[in-house]
Protein backbone atom coordinates (compact mmCIF):
# COMPACT_ATOMS: atom_id res chain seq x y z
CA UNK A 1 0.00 0.00 0.00
CA UNK A 2 3.05 2.23 -0.23
CA UNK A 3 1.80 3.92 -3.39
CA UNK A 4 -1.53 5.13 -2.04
CA UNK A 5 -0.26 8.29 -0.35
CA UNK A 6 1.34 9.89 -3.41
CA UNK A 7 -1.70 9.01 -5.55
CA UNK A 8 -4.08 10.46 -2.98
CA UNK A 9 -1.98 13.62 -2.78
CA UNK A 10 -1.84 13.93 -6.54
CA UNK A 11 -5.60 13.63 -6.87
CA UNK A 12 -6.33 15.94 -3.98
CA UNK A 13 -4.27 18.60 -5.72
CA UNK A 14 -6.09 17.91 -8.99
CA UNK A 15 -9.41 18.17 -7.18
CA UNK A 16 -8.37 21.47 -5.61
CA UNK A 17 -7.50 22.90 -9.02
CA UNK A 18 -10.79 21.79 -10.57
CA UNK A 19 -13.08 22.92 -7.77
CA UNK A 20 -11.26 26.24 -7.32
CA UNK A 21 -12.10 27.13 -10.90
CA UNK A 22 -15.74 26.13 -10.71
CA UNK A 23 -16.33 28.48 -7.75
CA UNK A 24 -17.26 32.11 -8.30
CA UNK A 25 -13.75 33.49 -8.06
CA UNK A 26 -14.51 36.70 -9.90
CA UNK A 27 -10.85 37.70 -9.90
CA UNK A 28 -10.34 38.13 -13.66
CA UNK A 29 -13.64 37.15 -15.20
CA UNK A 30 -11.69 34.78 -17.44
CA UNK A 31 -11.56 32.10 -14.80
CA UNK A 32 -15.30 31.55 -14.50
CA UNK A 33 -15.76 31.76 -18.27
CA UNK A 34 -13.05 29.16 -18.70
CA UNK A 35 -14.65 26.98 -16.05
CA UNK A 36 -18.10 27.32 -17.62
CA UNK A 37 -16.65 26.48 -21.02
CA UNK A 38 -14.86 23.47 -19.70
CA UNK A 39 -17.94 22.27 -17.80
CA UNK A 40 -19.86 22.28 -21.08
CA UNK A 41 -17.26 20.03 -22.69
CA UNK A 42 -18.82 16.70 -23.29
CA UNK A 43 -16.59 13.80 -22.41
CA UNK A 44 -18.66 10.63 -22.60
CA UNK A 45 -21.93 9.28 -23.93
CA UNK A 46 -23.87 6.57 -22.15
CA UNK A 47 -27.42 5.28 -21.84
CA UNK A 48 -29.79 4.28 -19.09
CA UNK A 49 -33.16 2.57 -18.98
CA UNK A 50 -35.88 4.73 -17.41
CA UNK A 51 -38.82 3.55 -15.27
CA UNK A 52 -40.97 2.95 -18.38
CA UNK A 53 -38.29 0.74 -19.94
CA UNK A 54 -37.27 3.32 -22.55
CA UNK A 55 -33.62 4.10 -23.33
CA UNK A 56 -32.40 7.55 -22.32
CA UNK A 57 -29.16 9.19 -23.42
CA UNK A 58 -26.72 10.43 -20.75
CA UNK A 59 -23.88 12.80 -21.54
CA UNK A 60 -21.19 13.45 -18.97
CA UNK A 61 -19.11 16.60 -18.94
CA UNK A 62 -15.35 16.34 -18.74
CA UNK A 63 -15.27 17.75 -15.20
CA UNK A 64 -17.93 15.35 -13.93
CA UNK A 65 -16.08 12.44 -15.54
CA UNK A 66 -12.78 13.36 -13.93
CA UNK A 67 -14.33 14.13 -10.52
CA UNK A 68 -16.04 10.72 -10.50
CA UNK A 69 -12.68 9.09 -11.26
CA UNK A 70 -10.92 11.00 -8.48
CA UNK A 71 -13.38 9.90 -5.81
CA UNK A 72 -13.18 6.29 -6.99
CA UNK A 73 -9.36 6.39 -7.15
CA UNK A 74 -9.11 7.67 -3.59
CA UNK A 75 -11.47 4.90 -2.42
CA UNK A 76 -9.88 2.04 -4.40
CA UNK A 77 -6.43 3.30 -3.35
CA UNK A 78 -7.38 2.13 0.14
CA UNK A 79 -8.46 -1.32 -1.07
CA UNK A 80 -5.90 -2.15 -3.77
CA UNK A 81 -2.16 -1.73 -4.23
CA UNK A 82 0.26 -1.80 -7.16
CA UNK A 83 0.81 -5.51 -6.51
CA UNK A 84 -2.80 -6.33 -7.34
CA UNK A 85 -3.97 -7.99 -10.54
CA UNK A 86 -7.63 -6.99 -10.89
CA UNK A 87 -10.39 -8.54 -12.99
CA UNK A 88 -13.01 -5.95 -13.91
CA UNK A 89 -16.26 -7.76 -14.73
CA UNK A 90 -18.55 -4.73 -14.93
CA UNK A 91 -20.59 -3.31 -17.86
CA UNK A 92 -18.57 -1.54 -20.57
CA UNK A 93 -20.94 -0.98 -23.49
CA UNK A 94 -22.86 2.35 -23.37
CA UNK A 95 -22.09 2.77 -19.67
CA UNK A 96 -19.52 4.70 -17.64
CA UNK A 97 -18.55 2.23 -14.97
CA UNK A 98 -16.31 -0.04 -17.07
CA UNK A 99 -14.18 2.72 -18.57
CA UNK A 100 -13.98 4.44 -15.19
CA UNK A 101 -12.90 1.24 -13.45
CA UNK A 102 -10.09 0.67 -15.98
CA UNK A 103 -8.68 4.17 -15.49
CA UNK A 104 -8.96 4.02 -11.73
CA UNK A 105 -7.27 0.63 -11.39
CA UNK A 106 -4.42 1.93 -13.54
CA UNK A 107 -4.17 5.10 -11.45
CA UNK A 108 -3.84 3.00 -8.30
CA UNK A 109 -0.93 1.28 -10.06
CA UNK A 110 -2.51 -2.17 -10.24
CA UNK A 111 -2.87 -4.31 -13.39
CA UNK A 112 -6.28 -4.77 -14.96
CA UNK A 113 -7.92 -7.56 -16.93
CA UNK A 114 -11.19 -6.17 -18.35
CA UNK A 115 -13.62 -8.97 -19.01
CA UNK A 116 -16.94 -7.09 -19.03
CA UNK A 117 -20.28 -8.79 -18.49
CA UNK A 118 -21.29 -10.07 -21.93
CA UNK A 119 -19.67 -13.48 -21.34
CA UNK A 120 -19.09 -13.94 -25.05
CA UNK A 121 -15.33 -13.51 -25.44
CA UNK A 122 -14.63 -14.34 -21.82
CA UNK A 123 -17.22 -16.78 -20.47
CA UNK A 124 -16.86 -17.80 -16.81
CA UNK A 125 -14.79 -20.99 -17.37
CA UNK A 126 -12.23 -18.91 -19.32
CA UNK A 127 -12.20 -16.35 -16.51
CA UNK A 128 -11.39 -19.09 -13.97
CA UNK A 129 -8.47 -20.04 -16.22
CA UNK A 130 -7.26 -16.42 -16.34
CA UNK A 131 -7.48 -16.12 -12.55
CA UNK A 132 -5.20 -19.13 -12.22
CA UNK A 133 -2.83 -18.20 -15.05
CA UNK A 134 -2.27 -14.58 -14.00
CA UNK A 135 -2.72 -15.04 -10.23
CA UNK A 136 -5.54 -12.54 -10.09
CA UNK A 137 -5.84 -11.03 -6.60
CA UNK A 138 -9.00 -8.89 -6.86
CA UNK A 139 -12.42 -9.19 -8.48
CA UNK A 140 -14.61 -6.17 -9.27
CA UNK A 141 -18.07 -7.46 -10.20
CA UNK A 142 -21.71 -7.74 -9.19
CA UNK A 143 -22.33 -9.86 -6.08
CA UNK A 144 -24.36 -12.36 -8.13
CA UNK A 145 -21.39 -12.72 -10.49
CA UNK A 146 -19.01 -13.43 -7.57
CA UNK A 147 -21.44 -16.05 -6.23
CA UNK A 148 -21.87 -17.76 -9.59
CA UNK A 149 -18.13 -17.79 -10.31
CA UNK A 150 -17.42 -19.39 -6.91
CA UNK A 151 -20.00 -22.07 -7.53
CA UNK A 152 -18.66 -22.78 -11.03
CA UNK A 153 -15.18 -23.20 -9.54
CA UNK A 154 -16.57 -25.70 -7.03
CA UNK A 155 -18.43 -27.58 -9.77
CA UNK A 156 -15.13 -27.91 -11.66
CA UNK A 157 -13.40 -29.38 -8.63
CA UNK A 158 -11.57 -26.17 -7.69
CA UNK A 159 -11.69 -24.53 -4.30
CA UNK A 160 -12.40 -20.78 -4.72
CA UNK A 161 -11.03 -20.15 -1.22
CA UNK A 162 -7.65 -21.54 -2.38
CA UNK A 163 -7.30 -19.20 -5.39
CA UNK A 164 -5.14 -16.06 -5.31
CA UNK A 165 -8.26 -13.81 -4.99
CA UNK A 166 -7.99 -11.82 -1.74
CA UNK A 167 -10.37 -8.89 -2.44
CA UNK A 168 -13.87 -8.82 -3.91
CA UNK A 169 -15.32 -5.38 -4.69
CA UNK A 170 -19.05 -5.57 -5.40
CA UNK A 171 -20.70 -3.05 -7.72
CA UNK A 172 -23.84 -2.71 -9.78
CA UNK A 173 -26.29 -4.52 -7.53
CA UNK A 174 -27.56 -3.81 -4.00
CA UNK A 175 -26.30 -6.41 -1.55
CA UNK A 176 -26.83 -6.90 2.18
CA UNK A 177 -23.81 -7.24 4.49
CA UNK A 178 -25.12 -10.72 5.29
CA UNK A 179 -24.78 -11.84 1.66
CA UNK A 180 -21.52 -9.95 1.26
CA UNK A 181 -20.09 -11.92 4.19
CA UNK A 182 -21.20 -15.13 2.51
CA UNK A 183 -19.40 -14.09 -0.71
CA UNK A 184 -16.28 -13.23 1.29
CA UNK A 185 -16.33 -16.65 2.96
CA UNK A 186 -16.74 -18.44 -0.40
CA UNK A 187 -13.58 -16.75 -1.75
CA UNK A 188 -11.76 -16.38 1.60
CA UNK A 189 -11.48 -12.72 0.61
CA UNK A 190 -12.21 -9.33 2.11
CA UNK A 191 -15.24 -7.67 0.55
CA UNK A 192 -16.41 -4.13 -0.01
CA UNK A 193 -19.00 -2.33 -2.08
CA UNK A 194 -19.14 0.78 -4.27
CA UNK A 195 -22.25 2.71 -5.22
CA UNK A 196 -23.15 4.57 -8.38
CA UNK A 197 -26.01 5.10 -10.79
CA UNK A 198 -25.96 4.96 -14.60
CA UNK A 199 -25.56 8.78 -14.69
CA UNK A 200 -23.18 9.08 -11.72
CA UNK A 201 -20.88 6.07 -11.68
CA UNK A 202 -19.34 7.08 -8.34
CA UNK A 203 -21.96 8.38 -5.91
CA UNK A 204 -20.82 6.80 -2.63
CA UNK A 205 -17.53 5.14 -1.61
CA UNK A 206 -16.64 2.88 1.32
CA UNK A 207 -14.73 4.03 4.41
CA UNK A 208 -12.49 1.74 6.45
CA UNK A 209 -15.61 0.41 8.26
CA UNK A 210 -17.15 -0.59 4.93
CA UNK A 211 -20.00 1.96 5.12
CA UNK A 212 -20.81 3.80 1.89
CA UNK A 213 -20.36 7.54 2.34
CA UNK A 214 -21.96 9.93 -0.15
CA UNK A 215 -19.61 12.00 -2.31
CA UNK A 216 -21.24 15.14 -0.87
CA UNK A 217 -18.52 17.54 -1.93
CA UNK A 218 -19.85 17.29 -5.48
CA UNK A 219 -23.35 15.76 -5.23
CA UNK A 220 -26.53 17.11 -3.72
CA UNK A 221 -28.45 14.10 -2.46
CA UNK A 222 -31.96 13.93 -1.04
CA UNK A 223 -34.43 11.16 -0.36
CA UNK A 224 -38.17 11.21 -1.08
CA UNK A 225 -39.45 9.98 2.29
CA UNK A 226 -37.39 9.61 5.46
CA UNK A 227 -35.09 7.95 6.03
CA UNK A 228 -35.93 5.51 3.22
CA UNK A 229 -37.12 6.43 -0.26
CA UNK A 230 -36.14 7.28 -3.81
CA UNK A 231 -32.72 8.89 -4.16
CA UNK A 232 -32.58 12.28 -5.87
CA UNK A 233 -29.15 13.37 -7.10
CA UNK A 234 -28.83 17.08 -7.87
CA UNK A 235 -32.64 17.18 -7.90
CA UNK A 236 -33.10 14.37 -10.45
CA UNK A 237 -34.94 11.18 -9.50
CA UNK A 238 -32.71 8.12 -9.93
CA UNK A 239 -35.28 5.33 -9.63
CA UNK A 240 -33.10 3.94 -6.83
CA UNK A 241 -34.37 3.09 -3.35
CA UNK A 242 -31.92 4.00 -0.58
CA UNK A 243 -31.64 4.95 3.05
CA UNK A 244 -29.63 8.05 3.93
CA UNK A 245 -28.33 8.22 7.49
CA UNK A 246 -26.60 11.14 9.17
CA UNK A 247 -22.85 10.45 9.45
CA UNK A 248 -22.88 10.30 13.25
CA UNK A 249 -25.63 7.68 13.27
CA UNK A 250 -24.50 5.82 10.16
CA UNK A 251 -20.86 5.10 10.91
CA UNK A 252 -18.17 5.32 13.57
CA UNK A 253 -15.38 6.35 11.17
CA UNK A 254 -15.74 10.07 11.83
CA UNK A 255 -16.35 11.09 8.19
CA UNK A 256 -18.73 14.04 7.90
CA UNK A 257 -20.66 12.79 4.87
CA UNK A 258 -23.92 10.89 5.16
CA UNK A 259 -24.07 7.11 4.88
CA UNK A 260 -26.02 5.63 1.96
CA UNK A 261 -27.55 2.16 2.13
CA UNK A 262 -28.49 0.93 -1.38
CA UNK A 263 -31.76 -1.02 -1.54
CA UNK A 264 -32.14 -1.76 -5.25
CA UNK A 265 -34.55 -0.08 -7.62
CA UNK A 266 -37.81 1.53 -6.52
CA UNK A 267 -39.61 -0.70 -9.03
CA UNK A 268 -38.24 -3.85 -7.34
CA UNK A 269 -39.61 -2.91 -3.88
CA UNK A 270 -42.98 -3.64 -2.27
CA UNK A 271 -45.01 -1.41 0.03
CA UNK A 272 -44.47 -2.54 3.64
CA UNK A 273 -46.27 -1.71 6.88
CA UNK A 274 -44.11 1.40 7.49
CA UNK A 275 -41.89 1.97 4.46
CA UNK A 276 -41.02 0.29 1.16
CA UNK A 277 -39.54 -3.20 1.59
CA UNK A 278 -36.69 -4.18 -0.71
CA UNK A 279 -34.96 -7.37 -1.80
CA UNK A 280 -32.04 -6.34 0.45
CA UNK A 281 -34.36 -6.60 3.48
CA UNK A 282 -35.33 -10.07 2.26
CA UNK A 283 -31.64 -11.01 1.91
CA UNK A 284 -30.99 -10.11 5.53
CA UNK A 285 -33.65 -12.62 6.60
CA UNK A 286 -32.65 -15.33 4.12
CA UNK A 287 -28.94 -15.29 4.97
CA UNK A 288 -29.56 -16.01 8.64
CA UNK A 289 -29.57 -19.61 7.41
CA UNK A 290 -26.02 -20.90 7.51
CA UNK A 291 -26.37 -23.65 4.91
CA UNK A 292 -27.15 -21.32 1.98
CA UNK A 293 -24.63 -20.45 -0.74
CA UNK A 294 -24.23 -16.73 -1.68
CA UNK A 295 -26.69 -17.10 -4.61
CA UNK A 296 -29.78 -14.94 -4.37
CA UNK A 297 -32.49 -13.87 -6.80
CA UNK A 298 -35.60 -11.91 -5.97
CA UNK A 299 -38.32 -10.56 -8.26
CA UNK A 300 -41.64 -8.86 -7.56
CA UNK A 301 -44.66 -10.55 -9.16
CA UNK A 302 -48.33 -10.21 -8.24
CA UNK A 303 -47.59 -8.21 -5.10
CA UNK A 304 -45.16 -10.74 -3.63
CA UNK A 305 -41.41 -11.34 -3.58
CA UNK A 306 -40.40 -14.45 -5.51
CA UNK A 307 -37.15 -15.49 -3.89
CA UNK A 308 -34.71 -18.13 -5.13
CA UNK A 309 -31.76 -19.23 -3.01
CA UNK A 310 -29.48 -22.23 -3.09
CA UNK A 311 -27.82 -24.87 -0.93
CA UNK A 312 -24.44 -26.44 -1.60
CA UNK A 313 -24.39 -29.78 -3.35
CA UNK A 314 -23.30 -31.64 -0.20
CA UNK A 315 -26.41 -30.59 1.68
CA UNK A 316 -29.86 -31.29 0.38
CA UNK A 317 -32.89 -29.14 1.13
CA UNK A 318 -35.00 -31.02 3.66
CA UNK A 319 -38.01 -31.27 1.36
CA UNK A 320 -39.97 -28.04 1.36
CA UNK A 321 -39.28 -27.40 5.06
CA UNK A 322 -36.56 -24.78 4.58
CA UNK A 323 -38.68 -22.98 1.97
CA UNK A 324 -41.63 -22.81 4.36
CA UNK A 325 -39.44 -21.63 7.24
CA UNK A 326 -37.89 -18.80 5.20
CA UNK A 327 -41.26 -17.74 3.77
CA UNK A 328 -42.66 -17.50 7.31
CA UNK A 329 -39.67 -15.52 8.54
CA UNK A 330 -39.99 -12.99 5.69
CA UNK A 331 -43.69 -12.51 6.42
CA UNK A 332 -43.13 -12.16 10.19
CA UNK A 333 -40.17 -9.77 9.96
CA UNK A 334 -41.17 -7.61 6.99
CA UNK A 335 -44.95 -7.89 6.68
CA UNK A 336 -44.85 -8.78 2.99
CA UNK A 337 -45.79 -11.89 1.03
CA UNK A 338 -43.05 -14.09 -0.40
CA UNK A 339 -42.70 -17.29 -2.38
CA UNK A 340 -39.42 -19.07 -1.70
CA UNK A 341 -37.64 -21.67 -3.81
CA UNK A 342 -34.49 -23.39 -2.60
CA UNK A 343 -32.46 -25.11 -5.33
CA UNK A 344 -29.24 -27.06 -5.48
CA UNK A 345 -26.43 -24.58 -6.31
CA UNK A 346 -25.41 -26.60 -9.38
CA UNK A 347 -28.90 -26.06 -10.84
CA UNK A 348 -28.76 -22.28 -10.26
CA UNK A 349 -28.56 -21.19 -13.90
CA UNK A 350 -31.53 -23.23 -15.06
CA UNK A 351 -33.56 -22.30 -11.95
CA UNK A 352 -33.19 -18.55 -12.45
CA UNK A 353 -32.99 -18.13 -16.24
Would you say 139 or 251 has its CB closer to Zn ion?
251
- Minimum distance from residue 210 beta carbon to Zn ion (Å): 8
DSSP string, 183-229: HHHHHT-EEEE-B--SS-S-SEEE-TTS-EEE-TTT--EEEESSSEE
DSSP code of residue 157:
T
Would you say 204 or 310 has its CB closer to Zn ion?
204
Would you say 249 or 301 has its CB closer to Zn ion?
249
Q: What angle do CA 23, 24, 28 make, to 5 degrees?
A: 115
Count CB neighbours of 275 within 10 A.
17
What is the CA 254 to chain-centroid distance, rounded?
23
Count CB neighbours of 264 within 10 A.
21
Q: Specify burial of residue 28 (Cβ count, 10 A radius: 0-12, 13-18, 19+).
A: exposed
Q: Hey, is 56 helix, strand or coil?
A: strand
- Minimum distance from residue 85 beta carbon to Zn ion (Å): 28
- Minimum distance from residue 257 beta carbon to Zn ion (Å): 9
Residues binding Zn ion (CB under 5 A): 207, 209, 211, 251, 253, 255
- Minimum distance from residue 151 beta carbon to Zn ion (Å): 32
- Minimum distance from residue 253 beta carbon to Zn ion (Å): 3
Would you say 168 or 207 has its CB closer to Zn ion?
207
Would you say 257 or 308 has its CB closer to Zn ion?
257
Alpha helices in the chain (DSSP H): 4-22, 30-39, 62-79, 97-108, 124-133, 143-155, 177-187, 247-250, 279-286, 321-334, 348-352
- Minimum distance from residue 209 beta carbon to Zn ion (Å): 5
Would you say 67 or 260 has its CB closer to Zn ion?
260
Amino acid sequence: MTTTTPIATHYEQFLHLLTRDTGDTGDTGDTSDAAAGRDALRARYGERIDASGATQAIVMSRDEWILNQIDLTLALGRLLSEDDVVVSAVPYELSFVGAEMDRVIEMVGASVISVGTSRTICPMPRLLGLIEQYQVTALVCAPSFAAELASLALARGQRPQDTTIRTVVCVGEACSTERLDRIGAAWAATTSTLYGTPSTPTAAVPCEHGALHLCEQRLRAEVRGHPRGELLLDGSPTGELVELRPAERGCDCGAASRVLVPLGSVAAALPGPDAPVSAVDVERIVFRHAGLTPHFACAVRDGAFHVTCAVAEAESPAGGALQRVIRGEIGDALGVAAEVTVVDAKDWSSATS
